Structure 1
Amino acid sequence: MNIAQLETFLELSDCLNVTETAARMNCTQPAVSARIRGLEQSLDAPLFDRIGKRMHLTANGILFLDYARKAVGALQEASEHLRQMDDPLAGTIRFGASNFTGIYLMPAFLGRYRQAAPDLEFELEIASSAQLLADLDTAKLEFLILSDHIAVDERRYQCRHICNDEMVLVVPPAHPLATVRTATLADLSQDVFLMKPPPSASRSFLLDRIQGDESSLGRVMHISSTEAIKQGVLHGLGISVLSRFVVAQELADGRLKEVPMALRPFRRGIRAINLRDKLLTPAASEFIKRLVESGGRAEALPWAAEGAPGRPSHPPSGKAHRKA
């Protein structure tokens, strides 16, 4: 068994087509078949069923898939870790984020960070929390940026607080609620309320805070995109409660109006999450450290005040840190 066989197995299990796998791996079809055959012989188990021109993973193949992902992921991590030992501001950081943190919080921070680390590359996956946690467990990602409303086993995952996210009621400037001193739950039910359909972490957080169910909000319109909900409010489709990160620009330029609410505080924490039993690469470890120290604010990065792009005057140590 070797790494080429494992990588070929992962590619073939993804597309279930030898021709496409050969194209992806820049090799011949006989080479793909030989690698899979050799892997099956070393495991003494068939990994694929070949029915006519179609291929399917066997029960053995499905079971082995997770192990193969972890093995290849661990080797890639080790290679990246060694490359970064001399310089934690170079290499590649692969991490995941929820929709609103990935779109509205991270870009500004990443842009500022790249000024000090022009040799550092980022691969950011934006997906559901369930998918992100699955990718973290299989070493596809090194860490995640998620709301603390997402429950995780802190015996298995290390969680570090970055900042607080406040969710605010927003309405168009000409809306009747724009002039009230404090909005009640009854006020929210007087217009169409825009929110995500289940399952959604922000939706469950909202319903938890109002201590009710969807019917408490009156007429509800489901929209699966946070950005589309914001655009809906901007164009008079309804009202909504959104993260301040999401509507910061619109509140600043007066296109939306924030209305105080007479409800429980709509605040949740934003955390960096990684597996406790795995080493972070030096680049990822340094990145999380700076993210936590800055509270997620790009302008608060230690070298942000220097003005010009370039590395900080005192680059951080390249030693890896084992997670507690």
Structure 2
Amino acid sequence: MNINKLQTFITLTECLNFTEAAERLYCSQPSVSMQVQSIEEDLGVPLFDRIGKKLYLTKQGEAFKPYAEQIINLLHTAKDHIRQLEDLSYGTLSFGASNFVGVYLLPKLLRDYSRSFPDIKINMNITSSSALTHLLESNKVEFLIISDRVMVDESRYQRKTFYQDELVLVVPPLHPLASKTSCTFEDLVDETLIIKPDKSATRSYLEEEFKELGFSPPKYLEISNLEGIKQGVIHELGVAMISSFAIEQEVKHGLLVKVPIEGVTFKRGICYVYHRSKHLSPATKRFLALLDDKYSANASY
């Protein structure tokens, strides 16, 4: 079994059509068929079911696909790393990030990194926590930057917190609480809390904190996107607990008002995660060092 055969297999799983796979790979349809058949013979199991003119992955094919992806991605990563050992004028910084991290926390830092290493291609994948862990497991990204509330297997992955993010209560400018210097949970008993849906790491964290504090929001309005939540508050659909970092511009321009909750602070760690056994590329090592240097004081806050 060789790399070309694995690439052919992966391409065919994506389109499930021999003709299209051949076009993508710039080879003949019989060649695609022969390479897939060779892998099936090596493994001793069928990877595809051929029913009429349609193609379907078998259970064995579904199980084999992530391993094939890991092998291909690992080879590409190794080639990048070797070339980057000479200098950082080549390669890719490839990582996954949660919505808050990718949209608000990292852009300025990525700008500085890009100016220092203009020939390094930056590939940041912003998606859900569950999708991010899959990207890491399949070697599609080198590392993740996520909330420390996202569970990872720390026997397999190295995790380091580099930033402490504070979640604050925000209300629209004409809200009764907007004129107060602070409030209590009793002031929120009739409010609608705009929050991300279930399975969100931020929501899980807030609900755990609320439970410990004996507070149960009477009404929820679920919005899956942080920008959507901010707009919901601006348009008086409710109040929300949002990262202080993410609402700087709206507070500055008077679109939102921060209201401290007496005696309570909500903080979550932002961390980077990578395989313990993984050899990080020079490009990634430089970027993580930049993260540590910029946010070292905040992380120990």
Q: Bin the TM-score by the shorter chain.
A: over 0.9
Partner residue, 1:322: none
Give the partner amino acid of 1:227: E
Q: Calculate percent identity across the aligned residue pairs.
A: 43
8 Å contact kept, 1:210–1:263:
no
Partner residue, 2:56: 56
Give the partner amino acid of 2:247: V
Give the Å deviation of 1:253: 2.1
SS at 2:216 equivalent: helix
- Please list every run of 5 or more consecutive structure 1 residues that lacks an aligned counterpart in the other structure: 298-324
Once residues 23 and 292 of structure 2 are traced to their aligned partners in structure 1, the CA distance between those partners, rounded to angstroms, is 42
What pairs with 1:1-324 in structure 2 (closer than 5 Å)?
1-88=1-88, 90-211=90-211, 216-262=216-262, 264-295=264-295
Give the Å deviation of 1:260: 0.2
Partner residue, 1:318: none
Once residues 160 and 240 of structure 1 are traced to their aligned partners in structure 2, the CA distance between those partners, rounded to angstroms, is 28
Would the alpha carbon gap of residues 263 and 27 (structure 1) be closer, same or farther in structure 2, given more than 3 Å must change?
farther
Once residues 112 and 225 of structure 2 are traced to their aligned partners in structure 1, the CA distance between those partners, rounded to angstroms, is 27
Give the Å deviation of 1:22: 2.4
Give the Å deviation of 1:41: 2.4
Give the Å deviation of 1:213: 11
Once residues 171 and 161 of structure 1 are traced to their aligned partners in structure 2, the CA distance between those partners, rounded to angstroms, is 29
SS at 1:249 equivalent: helix
How many residues align? The count is: 297
Alpha carbon RMSD of aligned pairs, Å? 2.0
Give the partner amino acid of 2:65: L
8 Å contact kept, 1:18–1:32:
yes
Give the partner amino acid of 1:49: D
Once residues 2 and 186 of structure 1 are traced to their aligned partners in structure 2, the CA distance between those partners, rounded to angstroms, is 65
8 Å contact kept, 2:164–2:268:
yes
Deviations 1:174-220 (A, max 9, x none): 21011223222222232222111111111111111212699921222
Once residues 80 and 260 of structure 1 are traced to their aligned partners in structure 2, the CA distance between those partners, rounded to angstroms, is 48
8 Å contact kept, 2:88–2:119:
no
Give the Å deviation of 1:145: 0.1
Once residues 109 and 203 of structure 2 are traced to their aligned partners in structure 1, the CA distance between those partners, rounded to angstroms, is 26
SS at 1:279 equivalent: coil
Residues 218-227 or 85-94, more deviating: 85-94
Would the alpha carbon gap of residues 76 and 91 (structure 1) be closer, same or farther in structure 2, given more than 3 Å must change?
same
Give the Å deviation of 1:266: 0.7
Once residues 29 and 124 of structure 2 are traced to their aligned partners in structure 1, the CA distance between those partners, rounded to angstroms, is 32
Once residues 68 and 291 of structure 1 are traced to their aligned partners in structure 2, the CA distance between those partners, rounded to angstroms, is 32
The two structures have a TM-score, normalised by structure 2, of 0.93
8 Å contact kept, 2:233–2:239:
yes
Once residues 188 and 263 of structure 1 are traced to their aligned partners in structure 2, the CA distance between those partners, rounded to angstroms, is 15
SS at 2:106 equivalent: helix
Once residues 218 and 142 of structure 2 are traced to their aligned partners in structure 1, the CA distance between those partners, rounded to angstroms, is 42
8 Å contact kept, 2:46–2:58:
yes
Once residues 37 and 214 of structure 2 are traced to their aligned partners in structure 1, the CA distance between those partners, rounded to angstroms, is 54
Partner residue, 1:308: none
Would the alpha carbon gap of residues 213 and 11 (structure 1) be closer, same or farther in structure 2, given more than 3 Å must change?
farther
- Please list every run of 5 or more consecutive structure 2 residues that lacks an aligned counterpart in the other structure: none
Give the partner amino acid of 2:152: V
Give the Å deviation of 1:24: 2.7
Give the partner amino acid of 1:235: H
SS at 1:187 equivalent: helix
Once residues 246 and 25 of structure 2 are traced to their aligned partners in structure 1, the CA distance between those partners, rounded to angstroms, is 40
Partner residue, 1:319: none
Give the Å deviation of 1:89: 5.4
Deviations 1:134-172 (A, max 9, x none): 211111110000111112232221112221111111111
Once residues 262 and 26 of structure 2 are traced to their aligned partners in structure 1, the CA distance between those partners, rounded to angstroms, is 61
Residues 262-271 or 224-233, more deviating: 262-271
Deviations 1:110-131 (A, max 9, x none): 1221111110111111111121
Once residues 262 and 126 of structure 1 are traced to their aligned partners in structure 2, the CA distance between those partners, rounded to angstroms, is 34
Deviations 1:68-125 (A, max 9, x none): 1121121111111112111135310110001111111122211221111110111111
Would the alpha carbon gap of residues 61 and 169 (structure 1) be closer, same or farther in structure 2, given more than 3 Å must change?
same
The two structures have a TM-score, normalised by structure 1, of 0.86
